[in-house]
Structure 1
Amino acid sequence: MSKVTIETERLILRPIEMADFPRWAEFMADEVSAQFLGGAQPPAAAWRGFMVMAGAWHLTGASMLSVIEKSSGLWVGRLGPWAPLDWPGTEVGWGLHRDAWGKGYAVEGAAAAMDYAFDVLGWDDVIHSIAPDNRPSQKVAERLGSTNRGPGRLPPPLQGLTVDIWGQTRAQWKARPRA
């Protein structure tokens, strides 16, 4: 599973590598970027999250992937299929470094990750756990064709976060209009 690489027009999605950690830590330390991801984290906490994602990918093939901008080779975020224990569903999530916002990378990368989740992982449903006041992520979900299914609950230690569950089925994904 660690050899998977997904390419889009402008991005490379691949499993996390050690060289990605400095930008990951910078992203997770940013109050604005990490606002809807549990809040800003010091490097030690970011390290643990980084290792969780790497381990989940290695063991299950479902975890956030590093998002690399093809034109620069720069790590610009993490996104992908994610299915932790007691999660409200099989999720494709996203989080981008602030310097990558506004470029359409979340939609481009998440669409490729949804194809992977449905076609390779065999998932029948994909959700996105989004805070009710996170309008940018809601717009990404809408552009992907997902709809708001209502309030959801995350497992500990994230049980205090308020989220809505957005999502769609495999059939809805396959039937969506293509740009």
Structure 2
Amino acid sequence: MSHASPLGPTLETDRLILRPTAMEDFERWCDFQADAETTRFIGGARSPAEVWRVLMSVAGAWALTGEGFFSVIEKSSGQWIGRIGPWNPHGWPGPEVGWSLHRDAMGKGYALEAAVATMDYAFDVLGWDDVIHSIDPDNEASKALAARLRSVNRGPGRLPAPFEASRVDLWGQTKAEWAENRKRFA
């Protein structure tokens, strides 16, 4: 199911609502970004002032480009549990579906559920021909999720400034590959 908000669509899965960022997400997003372990592969812990800027950038991406990180909301509790994107920043190595979950949402299959819906959205609605996932080579959980999506490791990639020192492998698949791989999740 899909609905539109002033910034973008809202997608629903069995257990999740994926919608553009809203101010009500700020407190949980701060809690998520304050966790050094959870954020070690996405730039590390951030202060509330830094999270504010990230939140505004994500909302701005939706407003200006029609794509950005969805806020992932657990239907049963209404709680913000993470972010997942169709995300294509300037200078990025390709259009990305990337994910990060709050520590208390990990290990429940939410990332896979949200990623499948977001991959569908990227290919079917945004019309992307290819999707990448830029993943730190030491991030075993994200590599496992990419593999479950049937994305393949295409090798080392390079992110633009200010992330140029980040080590990433570019995982991904084409729209045609996703059409076949998607059948596993029907």
Q: TM tier, shorter chain?
A: over 0.9
Within 2, Cα distance between the matches of 1:106 and 1:52?
22
Equivalent position of 1:56 in the other structure: 61
Q: Which amino acid aligns with 2:47?
A: P
Aligned residue pairs total 179
> Aligned-pair distance for 1:59?
1.1
Which of 74, 83, 92 is the matching residue for 1:78? 83
Q: Which secondary structure state, in structure 1, belongs to the residue aligned with residue 133 of structure 2?
A: strand
Within 2, Cα distance between the matches of 1:46 and 1:161?
20
Equivalent position of 1:95 in the other structure: 100
Q: Which amino acid aligns with 1:47?
A: W
Within 2, Cα distance between the matches of 1:160 and 1:27?
23
The RMSD of aligned alpha carbons is: 0.9
Equivalent position of 1:41 in the other structure: 46
Within 2, Cα distance between the matches of 1:77 and 1:31?
15
Within 1, Cα distance between the matches of 2:160 and 2:109?
30
Matches within 5 A, 1:25-174: 25-174=30-179
> Aligned-pair distance for 1:92?
0.3
Within 2, Cα distance between the matches of 1:63 and 1:12?
15
- Structure 2 unaligned blocks of 5 or more: 1-5
- Which aligned runs of 4 or more in structure 1 are off by greater than 6 angstroms? none
> Sequence identity of aligned pairs in percent?
62
Within 2, Cα distance between the matches of 1:34 and 1:55?
22
- Structure 1 unaligned blocks of 5 or more: none
Contact 2:7 2:59 in 1 (8 A): no
Residues 84-120 of structure 1 show CA distances to partners (whole Å, capped at 9, x for unaligned) of 0000000000000000000011111011001000001
Contact 2:8 2:62 in 1 (8 A): no
Equivalent position of 2:184 in the other structure: 178
Q: Which amino acid aligns with 1:66?
A: S
Residues 66-100 of structure 1 show CA distances to partners (whole Å, capped at 9, x for unaligned) of 00000110000000200000000000000000000
> Aligned-pair distance for 1:50?
1.0
